[in-house]
Structure 1
């Protein structure tokens, strides 16, 4: 098996669970040293433990608050101090929209979703770019959403933030491609995670059947595989893409 990640360093925010954890696993399986960053200390430490035992790979947990620029800058600085480089980053940390409708959304909900899902990505990109521009190379993938490509009625605030992530991704892709840095986004549809189950509860099975032409949810590893591909040399000419990984939902 070709392990393109050997000798490279990958950073995953929101790596304590769900898509982030499976992406950290995928980077480790590909041979990379992996930094798992999250506000969830116990979950992040468990991801590192699993990487070390399953894949015999180097891994480090860093506690981070992506809404705080200083915390994010310290995360990147610690990554480079520990492993000597930062080659790939998946800016994945995010929170759900707590409002079932834009009409009943609160200022608190808006502030929380925007701070983590949009401003957090901006903080991460700025800190990652500081290092990658010096190195003259790198790959960044931001986690957007199907809700960042189309309107989803139950995701008004979340969708606004994720549309913003797509915009940041495209602007950065154009600005930094000539300097050796590729920036892309993944746009997952409905994914089977603990967060998804907690949000939709008993409605989840019915939603999954209607969500896309495949008639099911994605598994976290299916999103992870797309992220690792976007960071790999196999995607060396892919720049500024907001890649739907949604079972065909946005093709309708």
Structure 2
């Protein structure tokens, strides 16, 4: 029995997120369905680094699974991709230590959020369509996020979650011709956290919330705050860092 680490890309448009759900199409279910024929049609459980939501995409999701097989890693990679649907692709597969854990061994996670300024069919499922607006102050809000904060105000309430502290290493907006892109890197992220941050920052530069109120949400975390949440289609899990 060997442990394998895989890096996965997927278009989340037609998935009900990452996590297995019995009656719904999920990324985890599709990959486990592809693995089963390689394990005498028995389930192979895969564990992801993060649980992306419905409509959220991944450029570098990481997962691990245990499997006894005589296939070489390149053969296993090809066998899996041959069985996967067109909207999922495994881009790397390697043997790893039995102590490696896709979620708990992760040190940094990178997300990107894309806002398309205007209307373009090409980016319909990979960005938040939003009318052009004055965006020069976005990084004033983004700068407030870096460092260690309690992000309870910027997350979906989870009563089982005791620790809502996150360490944000990078938080930066930049603009291309028609796209506003937010890059954020942290040790962990709470449920819906990036979407709440993006929605609230955009609301801030539209004068729907002040920078002082934004800072107050960071410094005085509250449950069930009524703030702004960006839609899922603009969010992409870019990658995960692990210690060498």
Question: Could you state the TM-score of these two structures normalised by the residue count of structure 1?
Answer: 0.23
Query: Which structure is larger by alpha-carbon Rg, 1 or 2?
Result: 2
Bigger relative contact order, structure 1 or 2 (CA pairs below 8 A, ≥6 apart): 2
| Structure with the higher strand share, 1 or 2 | 2
Scaled by the length of structure 2, what TM-score is found? 0.23
